[in-house]
């Protein structure tokens, strides 16, 4: 039985930043993850419930996820902003990493996170280092350009390029 538990912890324990949380370490004090997809793009807003002021607004880009973690008693003012909110935007496939952004926020009784859905006509931007497509100028064969060049002599008539 301990071997099965160890196996489950090692396979799912590294999946810290997933919507719904980690099955072993999820709780009220754990980080929350909000993933934005093309079908359901999300906006997360942090409100100060005492004044109604919007303290933080993040339109999560499609294909990314926002991770937020609140640290109690780490803020800069014991009364107004006693807690610290750590946050980071990650690609959807990243499961763990440091939260490098922070801001002081009201305590848990004086703040509210609102998650709203935007129109679903957005799309994820292509990866910058993706392979070029054939119809892009930089990937055209020499004979396709104005200057011309040697033509390919492959015979795809059998269904295969050689």
In a domain, 162, yes or no: no
Number of domains in the chain: 1
Convert 25-56 to b/e letters by CB count within 10 Å (16 or more is b).
Answer: eeeeeebbbbbbbeeebbbbebbbeeeeeebb
In a domain, 18, yes or no: no
Domain, as residue range, for 92: 30-120
Specify the pLDDT at position 1. 52
In a domain, 150, yes or no: no
Write down how long the chain is.
Answer: 162
Residue predicted with more confidence, 19 or 46: 46
Specify the pLDDT at position 30. 76
Strands 83-91 and 101-105: antiparallel
Q: What is the pTM assigned to this prediction?
A: 0.65
- Cα 101 from chain centre: 14
In a domain, 50, yes or no: yes
Q: What's the mean pLDDT in 103-124?
A: 88
* Residues 59-95 pLDDT 10s: 999 999 999 999 999 989 998 999 999 999 999 888 8
* Residues 114-127 pLDDT 10s: 999 998 776 667 66
In a domain, 140, yes or no: no
């Amino acid at each position: 039985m301990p071997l099965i538990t160890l196996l489950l912890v090692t396979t799912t324990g590294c999946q810290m930043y997933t919507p719904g949380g980690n099955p072993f370490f999820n709780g009220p004090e754990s980080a929350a993850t909000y993933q934005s997809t093309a079908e359901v793009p999300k906006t997360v807003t942090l409100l100060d419930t005492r004044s109604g002021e919007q303290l933080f607004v993040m339109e999560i880009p499609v294909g990314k996820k926002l991770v937020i973690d609140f640290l109690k008693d780490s803020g800069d003012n014991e009364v107004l902003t006693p807690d610290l909110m750590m946050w980071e935007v990650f690609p959807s496939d990243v499961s763990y990493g440091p939260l490098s952004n922070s801001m002081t926020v009201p305590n848990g009784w004086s703040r509210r996170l609102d998650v709203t859905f935007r129109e679903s006509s957005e799309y994820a931007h292509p990866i910058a280092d993706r392979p070029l497509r054939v119809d892009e100028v930089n990937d055209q064969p020499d004979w396709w350009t104005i200057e011309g060049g040697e033509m390919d002599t492959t015979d795809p008539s059998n269904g295969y390029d050689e």
